[in-house]
């Protein structure tokens, strides 16, 4: 056990740093920047039953201390992910990967998870019930405790792998959703997905994103994310992955003090391709600075 080691739903991670879904593709692009085996694991691009192009462009814009996106779950579909992306990933990544799944019906989620359940490389299923950028699916399952529980139960039925439910911050009471997932059998919770927002171009007087609205991420959302991670950690007994604007080793420690077992890093990967490598390298010095011997001692602040 190294001082950075943490255990996520029964699987040991060399460190708690996990690139978040949608900011890391299927890993391959980043293997050209650094050895991605240095990561704890990573969560691959949100995968659906059918291939998707996503929303029309522009689907990315600048925000104060962050960005907004409305990509809309572009992915090649689960069958191509299994046939093409996972074999390619196997060449460059030798750890268990987190499979991120999205859907437009309960049956969709179950169908896609059942396919991925058979993949040796997949360690965890991260079930996204929080995408703000697709209509008639995604976030609608994450804003109602009953629907969230229904998806959780359906997925649990088709897989032996740990099921982590990824929650939306665009709700009144996130602890109610988290508890509903836990009661339905979820093995873990990850949060937060992006916060719904928009930008208008002063020059054209029109929304910058063709989808009008999108999801805000980056350092701007960190305090909001931290607050929600804190609340959820006190509402459930299952492990929680904290994410939202994490950019530095200090942010990782702060998330873990809020109670997170592991930490996902999203937008930072896009502005600095080596962000996660840097965060992992900086963790020991940051721990020394605050007198932390091992990350496992951070059971949350009081």
Partner 1 sequence: MEQRILKVTDNTRIADRVYRMVLENPALEEMKPGQFVNIRIDGQYLRRPISVCDSDPGSLTIVYKVVGRGTEALSRVKKRETLDVLTGLGNGYDLSKAGDHPLLLGGGVGVPPLVLLARKLREAGRAVTAVLGFNTAAEAFGQTDFREMGCRVTVTTADGSLGVRGFVTDALPEDYSYFYTCGPEPMLKAVYRKTKTSGQFSFEERMGCGFGACMGCSCKTVTGYKRICREGPVLEKEEILWED
- Per CB under 8 A, the list member of 22, 40, 169, 242 interacting with partner 1 is 22
What SS3 state is found at 214?
A: strand
CA distance linking residue 8 with residue 257, whole number of Å: 16
**In sequence order, which residues have a C-beta less than 8 Å from that of residue 297 and are 6 or more positions away?**
none
Query: Considering the rule CB under 8 A, would residue 62 count as an interface residue with partner 1?
Result: yes
Query: Considering the rule CB under 8 A, would residue 290 count as an interface residue with partner 1?
Result: no
Query: Considering the rule CB under 8 A, would residue 29 count as an interface residue with partner 1?
Result: yes
Query: Considering the rule CB under 8 A, would residue 57 count as an interface residue with partner 1?
Result: yes
The residue range among 24-32, 143-151, 155-163, 171-179 that interacts with partner 1, by the rule CB under 8 A, is 24-32
The residue range among 19-27, 113-121, 224-232, 234-242 that interacts with partner 1, by the rule CB under 8 A, is 19-27
Beta carbon of residue 267, minimum distance to partner 1 (angstroms, whole number):
8
Q: 62-92: string of b/e by CB count within 10 Å (b at 16+)? A: ebeebbbbbbbbebbebeebbeebbeebeee
Phi then psi for residue 166, to 5 deg, are: -95, 120
- Torsion angle of C-alpha atoms 54, 56, 61, 67, degrees rounded to 10: -10
What SS3 state is found at 194?
A: coil
The residue range among 68-76, 158-166, 188-196, 251-259 that interacts with partner 1, by the rule CB under 8 A, is 68-76
Query: Considering the rule CB under 8 A, would residue 269 count as an interface residue with partner 1?
Result: yes
What SS3 state is found at 123?
A: strand
Is the distance from CB of 217 to CB of 267 less than 8 angstroms?
A: yes
Query: Considering the rule CB under 8 A, would residue 74 count as an interface residue with partner 1?
Result: yes
Query: Considering the rule CB under 8 A, would residue 204 count as an interface residue with partner 1?
Result: no
Q: Which residues are catalytic?
A: 131
Query: Considering the rule CB under 8 A, would residue 58 count as an interface residue with partner 1?
Result: yes
Beta carbon of residue 214, minimum distance to partner 1 (angstroms, whole number):
10
Query: Considering the rule CB under 8 A, would residue 53 count as an interface residue with partner 1?
Result: yes
Longest distance between any two alpha carbons in the chain, whole Å: 56
Query: Considering the rule CB under 8 A, would residue 84 count as an interface residue with partner 1?
Result: no
Helix (H) or strand (E) holding 183: helix 174-183
Beta carbon of residue 23, minimum distance to partner 1 (angstroms, whole number):
6
* DSSP state for residue 218 in the 8-state scheme: S
Which residues contact partner 1 by CB under 8 A?
22-25, 29-30, 32-33, 45, 53-54, 56-67, 69, 71, 74, 218-219, 267, 269-274
């Amino acid at each position: 056990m190294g001082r950075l080691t943490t255990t996520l739903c029964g699987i040991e991670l060399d460190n708690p740093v996990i690139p978040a879904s949608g900011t890391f593709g299927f890993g391959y692009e980043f293997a050209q920047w650094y050895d991605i085996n240095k990561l704890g694991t990573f969560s691959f691009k949100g995968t659906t039953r059918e291939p998707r192009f996503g929303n029309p462009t522009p689907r990315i814009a600048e925000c104060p201390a962050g960005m907004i996106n409305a990509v809309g779950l572009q992915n090649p579909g689960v069958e191509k992910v299994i046939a093409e992306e996972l074999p390619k990933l196997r060449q460059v990544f030798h750890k268990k990967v987190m499979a991120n799944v999205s859907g437009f019906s309960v049956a969709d989620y179950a169908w896609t998870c059942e396919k991925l359940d058979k993949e040796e490389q997949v360690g965890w299923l991260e079930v996204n019930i929080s995408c703000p950028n697709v209509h008639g699916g995604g976030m609608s399952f994450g804003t109602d405790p009953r629907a969230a529980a229904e998806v959780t139960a359906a997925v649990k039925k088709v897989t032996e792998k740990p099921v982590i439910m990824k929650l939306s911050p665009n709700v009144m009471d996130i602890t109610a959703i988290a508890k509903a997932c836990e009661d339905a059998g979820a093995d873990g919770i990850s949060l937060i997905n992006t916060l719904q927002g928009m930008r208008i171009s002063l020059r054209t007087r029109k929304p910058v994103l063709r989808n009008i609205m999108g999801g805000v991420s980056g350092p701007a959302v960190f305090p909001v994310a931290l607050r929600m991670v804190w609340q959820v950690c006190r509402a459930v007994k299952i492990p929680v992955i904290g994410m939202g604007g994490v950019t530095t080793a200090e942010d990782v420690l702060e998330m873990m003090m809020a109670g997170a077992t592991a930490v996902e890093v999203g937008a930072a990967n896009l502005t600095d391709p080596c962000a996660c490598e840097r965060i992992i390298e900086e963790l020991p010095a940051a721990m020394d600075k605050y007198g932390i011997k091992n990350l496992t001692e951070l059971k949350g602040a009081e």
